[in-house]
Structure 1
């Protein structure tokens, strides 16, 4: 795999002024998502390369957040940057009704990694509208209305996607109809009093089927699942769960939609996370990792059966920027680089041989770590005040931990009582070693103060 090296850590004093201006303008004019605006103190990021970013003073941070778990190929990969520049010089935008070579090449590259019998892609602007349109397709294909999704999930912030989401963000946004939630597997905090992964799978599947039966199978269009639950905890499904969901969906004529927005394109150490779980969905949603977020893009990969529903029937959906040429060029270049540089294989190896073992070693030495779980470059440390009761650590502890990590020049991803350890797929053994040392030091400082 080609390594990206070098940083831009120094510059004239005007760089500090630029940083101050960036923060001043941000606080004066930018309205941030999911935030109380008065309490914000954002980091002003000036640049990045590979697995590092830096501020306007030249201070470098190891990016173990991948921003929003999307910079799979690393920051500023030269092939992707060049492809965007070249496309901008040829055709910077085009209406989606026209045929565009870059769009066709991107679609072909994507379905080349999908299961057989899935040959078409509907492009969107991001993951939320990918899920939005997948649910629309499922409803029109089946003639049914209801959508089932789990309470521990995040599917985006548009009308149906946010209501399909299970976490707290759904509650002030419940305007879409026909959504039903159920509990998915979470062995560490089982809703089913399970004492083994096998029990968790069996009982979670029984729960899902009972919800379907109680809601009326003939009313349910789709089951929407994150293959590996992302923001809600990096919850890797126990053995047999996803094939069990597939079997239940088939039995009741329900479309299975797997949300690969966060888990796809290398994050789980495979091209799609479901490749690791012996399951084939009817619709696949993606975004983020397909081009590392260099240009906003998402999409739905359709089974040929569902695509055929719209051969003679108009699909009532579209977006001005569906298949935007700059995004398409970035996808083609990103996937080509991931293939030629062995980036997905690197993510799998790092997870199995370096990151996973290193995190489990941390858990042996830090009683605050209740559980380590993950795969590829998609991991979580669940932090507890007491291992016996599994009581989550309070928010103040997480705030202190974030400060300690940032002070040691690591950019973390924290959610509730968890550290999500999610570096780019290009991360090296040395960078993982540096990060593990930082996690170790920060946890030690916080634990000493409790």
Structure 2
């Protein structure tokens, strides 16, 4: 976090006429929220890095974007645009991940030092609506959105294991082709069926339409991002929001668009594995919880554990052909979809085990004897990612370059989209969302 802020300050000092750095708020722990603004055009673009604490690539991406924007006047004067780069939305959470950010970059190190706050402490979400936003980070972002009224907003996310994809609040025709080109050049797999877009309209390969928000219960809100959020808050200003996901460990099989050999057998296996892991983790949590008195930040680590264990049974039932809701049948699934579902089920289990591992080690003792079993769960999950899924680390420079290229492509297309809207042409992105044919 300190490196990102220092680099941005250096950029502003080096180019004072073109770059300004200002504080737009503070985190719960008092860390400044810094905004780096580039150019002086009338049309505002807002890029938000670090909304999820365990997804740090956005920090590298915004610094890369800053250098790219300052080097190319077509992105500022030529586009009548000002770029506003929010360096990190959740700096407190990012600091909690610094145990693995220094490397070496292994799955085991990542999951043992993984942190992501509980759903209600993630600043992009508005579980009680914008007017009742409780987190200072959320309020700062809402103020910024209402101040800037951006024509384009981008939220930078990272996939720990899988592939890259984009989620949009309005369609940007052509983005899928630009994204495919960048991914091919940089060796980034595209995820053709992420589990969190399973029921969403598909706008193109690895590009999905975020449905408008609607009231949900907590379990649905945690697992489905189509809830009240800062993604949709500036929609009334005509903003196009793009959520750009870049993978840390890539899995080639997530881009397999072929029909699966035995869909139901795979779905049964994924669901059964998630149910089994959930039972094991609930048993381990029951053993660990009574011994956490006095453990630093136990409540903050337990919140995401409780969230994960809350949603696991519903996910397992939704993915199982024998228990899926007949009113919400599974869509046509490709081999890539099944790979992504397997990765997602394992991710929830290994993340939960990693958080419990931190709780036990933070307590300084293990009277319940849970640590060896937690280590076994983490090691087995990481081995499955490596050996079964073929997960391979993608260097940070490639992650950031891929994400920056997708952001720049979306920025250009959003500018065209806005020009069409001003000229009176139909805005197809605001039409009713309908499922599209899947390759």
TM-score with structure 1 length normalisation? 0.30
TM-score with structure 2 length normalisation? 0.31
